[in-house]
Amino acid sequence: MDGNAALHREVLDRADVGFGVTDARGTLRWVNPALAAVLGVATDRAAGRSLPALLPGVPERPRSGLALLTPTGHHAGHRWLEVTCRHLGPDGDLLYRVADVTAWRDRELEATHEADALRRAQVLGRMGTWEWHVADDRLVWSEALLETFGFPPDTLLDFDRYAELVHPDDLTTIQATLEQAMRTGAGFSYTHRMAVADHRTERWFECFGEIDTTADGTPLRLVGTAHDITRARRVHDELLALAEQDPLTGLANRRAVTRELEQRLGAGGHGALLLLDLDNFKDVNDLRGHAVGDRLMKTVAGALRSRLAPTHPVGRLGGDEFAVVLPGRTAADAARVADDLRAAVAALPLVTASTPVTASAGVAEYRAGDTWELVLANADLALYASKSAGRDRVTVYEPGHYADTAKRVSVMDRLRHALDHGGLALHAMPMVELATGRTLGHELLLRLEDGREPRLGPAEFLPEAERSNLVHDIDRWVLSTAIDALVRHPHLDLRFNVNVSGRTLEDEEFGGFVLDRLATAGVAPGRLGLEITETAAVTNLDAARALAVQLRGFGCRITLDDFGSGFGSFVHLKHLPITGIKIDGEFVRGIDERSTDAVLVAGIVEIARGLGLSAVAEWVERPAQVTTLTALGVRVGQGFHLGRPVPLPHILTEQPIPPNSALSAPRTGTEDGAHS
């Protein structure tokens, strides 16, 4: 063996690639150590062995490829081998080259598995990646992203074809964003809509990306991700709709209406805002139930929507109040629209004549420079004016409405200050036994004595208090003051009646408050009576019944005031556990002059006697009335002829009441009613 041959032999012996020579039938004639190690045989014992037997799957003729082999004698287990075969010499010998590529193949498989996992994650996450090679204007999309777009993995999708699928309103945004990124080299993001491959299904995508540039800032490549957010967007849109939609009627809610008005004003537009509020709707809820009230509200909403153009947004501000934005319309135009809507509500066939539902409306114009808060406040002032004028009418805002509101606010401020600083007082009006003239008790009437001008009577300040929660505090003050007076003067013949407003009937804690105060003070409950007007009782029938049951069970007297003033007065007697009634003054005023009044009062007295209720006649102003009432069986009365209201301290200090001859002045109309 010459030197070159020895060198070649040494190289083959040291090589980590296996070499072997076989004859044409595959019988080994020679192997190097590397191949012997793969075959699991000694080098000097390989000759004469069959290579296909030792390496199943090896090519029996010259060709190349990969084979997964599991030699039983190999200590390392299965290996990935790259086997090549070629002719060697004229005798048909074959030269085999066997390279162990296990490490490379495993890395390749790992990379493949990672790529597949990434692809599956992208598919499951409804997202993918894209690259834009700027130099050759080439777009590369990931298979997952193409699949999300609805295309096969091998689809060639250039920018022009992609742009055809993007929503026209969003394409400009995408182009501007990418151009800015290429100018600045900064990262970018955008959201867009696009139709997928079927050109019918629209999806939303959220995209993020970055740009690779050269040292001098020249763009090389843009890399981005696209995430299908269609489901999230639908949920977002649904939540947005819920946030700006009234759930009961399906109309826009207060937030949406005010935003619409704000946008109109921001654009410098002019027009009018219309507010419409149902009259007597609380009666429907209280007498017929909230299910009927809800149906009525839906019907009203449908009636409003059907009579308004799509360019006139209508919404429900809350409760039973609706709003309509009328762009480009004058106050006169809006008033005509409001009157049409008012008539439509009045014509709804949902309620009977006993509980009519009408609507009041207020209209205010708006113009550039106004704020939506000002416009809404003006329309609300006009609506309030409609309510105050008798309801079921339309009023256009005038500056005088603001003055009226300012007056109401001033009244409320005075009441709050009086409540906190001792400006309220109680006057006592006697309830007299007609036959003897003996005083049986007193009705306590509220007065505002804060020393300010102008002086305000009950008819001027009580309605304002009853429109707010302040009346709750006032009623509790009256009740507490009455109980304190009874504690200081424990004479059993000193009895008080106090009036309870309709709003206080809604206060579920009021009954407990009364009982706690009585128990703490140690006052016999029979010395205190509560008067509830018939109108307030029927409007809050359930609340009135609950309060009457609670207090009567403890021993308090419960009187139904102004009895006979409402529809179905006698029906209410079946549902309210009261102890007495006060005959409405309208029946007493002309009782000595009109026989019809006498007949009605006689009937009321007979029913009261049959039910075991006391009966008190109000508005007794003349001696002839006393004579007639006594003849009809009425035992007790009150009115100017029997005694005017005097400050409560006069009663408590037993100061004499001025003689009746001085009390013959006609009544002012402010001395009766709740707290009058």
- DSSP states of 118-160: HHHHHHHTTEEEEEEETTTTEEEE-HHHHHHHT--TT----HH
| Two structure tokens written together for 134 | 């700027």
Question: What's the pLDDT band for 64 if we cut at 50, 70, 90?
Answer: low
pLDDT cut 70: percent of the chain above it: 86
Instruction: Compute the distance between CA of residue 515 and CA of residue 525 in angstroms, rounded to an integer.
Output: 9
Return the top range by mean pLDDT from 284-288, 399-403, 438-442, 585-589. 438-442
Average pLDDT value for residue range 262-267: 89
Q: How far apart are CA 262 and CA 520, in angstroms?
A: 55
Stretch 181-197: mean pLDDT, rounded?
Answer: 89
Residue 56 pLDDT: 78
pLDDT band at 275; cut points 50, 70, 90: very high
The pLDDT assigned to 65 comes to: 61
Q: What is residue 53's predicted lDDT score, i.e. its pLDDT?
A: 82
Q: How confident is the model at residue 557 (pLDDT cuts 50, 70, 90)?
A: very high
What is the model's pLDDT at position 632? Answer: 92
Which residues partner with 509 through β-bridges?
Answer: none
Distance CA 566, CA 563 (A): 7
Top mean pLDDT of 413-427, 597-611, 617-631 is at 617-631
Among 311, 183, 316, smallest CA distance to 258 is for 316
User: What is the C-alpha separation between 594 and 592, in angstroms, rounded?
Assistant: 6
Q: Of 556, 547, 567, which is closest to residue 502 (Cα–Cα)? A: 547
Quick one: pLDDT band at residue 614, thresholds 50, 70, 90? very high
Q: What number of residues does the chain have?
A: 676
Alpha-carbon dihedral sign for residues 144, 148, 154, 158: negative
User: Tell me: the pLDDT tens digits for 304-351?
Assistant: 999 998 889 899 988 889 999 999 999 999 999 999 999 998 888 764
Q: Does residue 556 contact residue 530 with C-beta atoms inside 8 Å?
A: yes
Per-residue pLDDT at 402? 54
Distance of alpha carbon 573 from alpha carbon 571, whole angstroms? 5
The pLDDT value given to residue 657: 41
Q: Is the pLDDT of residue 663 over 60?
A: no
Please name each of the domains of the chain with its CATH number: 3-100 (3.30.450.20), 106-234 (3.30.450.20), 244-397 (3.30.70.270), 410-448+455-659 (3.20.20.450)
Angstrom distance (rounded) from CA 212 to CA 187: 10
The amino acid occupying position 206 is: E
- Cα separation of 198 and 204, whole Å? 15
For residue 567, what pLDDT is reported?
46
3-state secondary structure of 419: helix
Q: Are 442 and 429 in contact (CB under 8 A)?
A: yes
Pick the closest to residue 601 from 590, 576, 567 (CA basis). 590
623 has pLDDT over 60: yes
What pLDDT, on a 0 to 100 scale, did the predictor assign at position 340? 93
| Confidence grade of residue 496 (pLDDT, cut at 50, 70, 90) | very high
3-state SS class at 323: strand
**Whole-angstrom Cα distance, residue 230 to residue 63?**
53
Q: What is the pLDDT of residue 478?
A: 94
pLDDT band of 508, cuts 50, 70, 90:
confident
Nearest Cα to Cα of residue 286 among 551, 544, 616, 600: 544
Please give the backbone phi and psi of residue 653, each rounded to the nearest 5 degrees, phi first. -95, 5
Give CA–CA dist 457/447, Å, rounded.
Answer: 7
Give the per-residue pLDDT at 201.
87
Query: What is the average per-residue pLDDT within 183-210?
Result: 88
Say if residue 664's pLDDT is above 50: no
Q: pLDDT at residue 84 above 90?
A: no
Pair of tokens at residue 35: 């191949």
pLDDT at residue 365 is higher than 80:
yes
Residue 580 in contact with residue 615, Cβ under 8 Å? yes
539 against 248, higher pLDDT: 248
pLDDT band at 668 (very low <50, low <70, confident <90, very high): very low
pLDDT of 656 higher than 80: no
Alpha-carbon Rg of the chain, whole angstroms? 48
Q: Which of 301, 404, 389 is nearest to 350 (CA)?
A: 301
Candidates 339, 362, 358; CA nearest to 347 is 358
Highest mean pLDDT among 4-13, 79-88, 133-142, 334-343: 334-343
Confidence (pLDDT) at 111: 65
Contact 314, 261 (CB under 8 A): no
* Residue 568, pLDDT above cutoff 80: no
Between residues 522 and 660, which one has the greater pLDDT?
A: 522
What pLDDT score was predicted for residue 660?
40
Q: What is the pLDDT of residues 381-395, one digit of tens each?
A: 898 888 878 888 999
**99-113, 433-447, 473-487: which has the minimum mean pLDDT?**
99-113
Query: How, if at all, do strands 93-100 and 79-88 pair?
Result: antiparallel
Q: Which residue has the higher pLDDT, 604 or 456?
A: 604
pLDDT, mean over the chain: 83
Residue-level pLDDT at 649: 92
Least confident of 315-329, 359-373, 572-586: 572-586
| pLDDT confidence tier of residue 491, bands split at 50, 70 and 90 | confident
Is the pLDDT assigned to residue 206 strictly greater than 70?
yes
Is residue 619 pLDDT above 80, yes or no?
A: yes
Six token digits for residue 169: 């309103």
Q: Which residues lie across from 323 on neighbouring strands?
A: 275, 315
What would the mean pLDDT of 573-580 be, rounded to a whole number? 82
| Strands in 462-556 per DSSP E | 496-500, 528-533
Amino acid at 56: P
Closest CA to 576 of 613, 607, 545: 545
DSSP 17-85: SEEEEE-TT-BEEEE-HHHHHHHTS-GGG-TTSBHHHHSTT--SSS-EEEEEE--TT-TT-SEEEEEEE
* Separation CA 461–CA 653 (nearest Å): 28
The partner residues of 614 in beta bridges, in order of sequence, read 580
Q: Which of 65-74, 506-515, 650-659 has the lowest mean pLDDT?
A: 65-74
Alpha-helix runs per DSSP H in 289-447:
290-306, 331-346, 372-388, 399-421
Token pair belonging to 132: 């834009």
**Band of pLDDT at residue 597, cut at 50, 70 and 90:** confident
Res 439 pLDDT > 80 = yes
Whether the per-residue pLDDT at 552 is higher than 50: the answer is: yes
Q: What is the pLDDT of residue 121?
A: 60
- Residue 661 burial by CB count (10 A; 0-12/13-18/19+): exposed, middle or buried? exposed
The pLDDT tens digits of the residues spanning 401-412 come to 655 555 666 777
Q: How far apart are CA 324 and CA 326, in angstroms?
A: 6
Q: Which two tokens stand for residue 486?
A: 């009874």
β-strand pairing of 557-563 with 580-583: parallel
- Eight-state DSSP code of residue 228: E
Q: How much of the chain is helix, strand and coil, in % rounded to 5?
A: 45, 25, 30
User: What pLDDT score does 514 carry?
Assistant: 92
Instruction: Look at residue 670 in the predicted model and tell me its pLDDT.
Output: 35
Token readout for 325 is 């934005």
Higher per-residue confidence, 352 vs 387: 387
User: Three-class SS of residue 462?
Assistant: helix
- Quick one: tokens of 348? 């709804």
